Amino acid sequence: MKNMHRYFIIFCLFLSGVLFGQIQKFHPEDFVLSGQSIAQGDGCFQLTEARRWQGGSIWYKKKIDLQETFEIEIKVFLGCNDEGADGMVFILHPYLTTGFAGEGMGFGGLYPSFGVEMDTYRNYHLYDPGYDHASFMAHGYLSHEYGLTEPISLSSKSANLEDCRQHLVKFTWNPKMKRIRFFFDGELRIVKDIDLVKDLFEGNSQMYWGFTSATGNKYNTHKVCLERLVYSEPMALSNEVKELFISGEGYVIENLDFPTGSARIPSSSHGTLDKMVRFFNEHPQHSIIIDGFTDSSGDKTTNLRLSERRAKAIADYFLNKGLDPKRILYFGNGEDRPIAPNNTIEGRKLNRRIELKMKKLKV
């Protein structure tokens, strides 16, 4: 096996279009394993043995941002028995959970989700074709009557890929074109234009990715060997904002417009919050203090509760990104401490805010 199997390669794509590479030693600890999956070294994982009713998955612990480009290459081993089952699925999902086994291949029942199935067994009730096939699927539905694309042969050269060989698989996502592509052994097999963030994930662009596999009454060995992940890294916070945080001064999140009466964070603010998470991770000794404020319109008690809900929503976002809950404090202040007059539209807009501070509370 080539030396590149021993490394997990991450490239940062900058706005200039130049690909700047950062190479990291690959560690199995970067993944969450479940079921019968085991790490085998050299960047390879066995998801199932050739035994009945096996199921295994690997999930990368860090989410990727679907507002940015990504490219993932792996080598798959789909077994040696042409009558075996069931195959594997590449999945995007907001949670570190695995779905139904057997014909579900670990994808069944996952909502919301996007999957690229690599199916090697024909289930007639799922409208599977009579050859090893691939298809784009959504929300844990394996029946092709609900597929995002029609099933297509995994390879144009062979109907059987349970051939005791490794095969190179690649997935690419272009957020500007809203286009996802699937390659098998260097061939472009499926291309689909779809707004994954809006149409499948309700505005949430932060996803875990992983591979799942399963067997049933019939079985095969299933393995994946990681080649590389290429993704464009979000830009960092400005130096001005970093200096505010380091000095312990308050920073008001810009352009954070919650819907009226709601604590739902608009997806347009996810990128800014993600930059903050990356910066907070660089300063693990600091606590993050989140203060929510409203204007003076409406009932004072209602405003106090709303400001607390919004502060908590920001705290929950940071927690879901992996920040230590012991570092995060949040408070609702209602209409207290206005920074502008409440008798103008612009003033009220300024007073409806989330303010963050970064402090060393423990020495």
Sequence ranges of the chain with CATH classification 2.60.120.200: 3-231
203, 106, 36, 9 alpha-carbon torsion, rounded to 10°? -40
Domain 239-359: state its class. Answer: alpha beta
| Per-residue pLDDT of the chain in tens (363 residues, 90 and over written 9) | 434 333 333 333 322 333 333 333 456 778 999 999 999 988 899 999 999 999 999 999 888 888 888 888 899 999 999 999 999 999 999 999 898 888 899 999 999 999 999 999 999 999 999 999 999 999 999 999 999 999 999 999 998 999 999 999 999 999 889 999 999 999 999 999 999 999 999 988 889 999 999 999 999 999 999 877 665 555 578 888 999 999 999 999 988 989 889 999 987 788 889 889 989 988 999 999 999 999 999 999 999 999 999 999 999 999 988 899 999 999 999 999 999 999 999 999 999 999 999 999 864
CATH number for 3-231: choose from 2.60.120.330, 3.30.70.1230, 2.60.40.1180, 2.60.120.200.
2.60.120.200
Sequence ranges of the chain with CATH classification 3.30.1330.60: 239-359
d(CA 64, CA 94): 10
d(CA 194, CA 211): 21
Contact predicate 133/149, CB 8 Å = no
Peptide bond connecting 185 to the previous residue in cis, omega within 30 degrees of 0: no
Q: Which helix (H) or strand (E) holds 301?
A: helix 300-320
Report which residue type is found at 304.
L
CA 199-200-203 angle, to 5 degrees, is 75
Task: Report the candidate in 88, 114, 91, 118 with the shortest Cα–Cα distance to residue 101.
Answer: 88
Task: Report the candidate in 292, 275, 271 with the shortest Cα–Cα distance to residue 335.
Answer: 292
Instruction: Please classify residue 25 by burial: count the beta carbons closer than 10 Å to its beta carbon, then call 0-12 exposed, 13-18 middle and 19+ buried.
Output: exposed
Report which residue type is found at 176.
K
The two beta strands, 70-77 and 222-231, are antiparallel
d(CA 264, CA 259): 7
Contact predicate 92/199, CB 8 Å = no
Place of tokens 């050299």: 42
Contact predicate 60/72, CB 8 Å = no
| pLDDT at residue 235 in the model | 59
Contact predicate 291/322, CB 8 Å = no
d(CA 161, CA 200): 30
Contact predicate 308/350, CB 8 Å = no
The CB density around residue 295, as the number of other CB atoms within 10 Å, is: 20
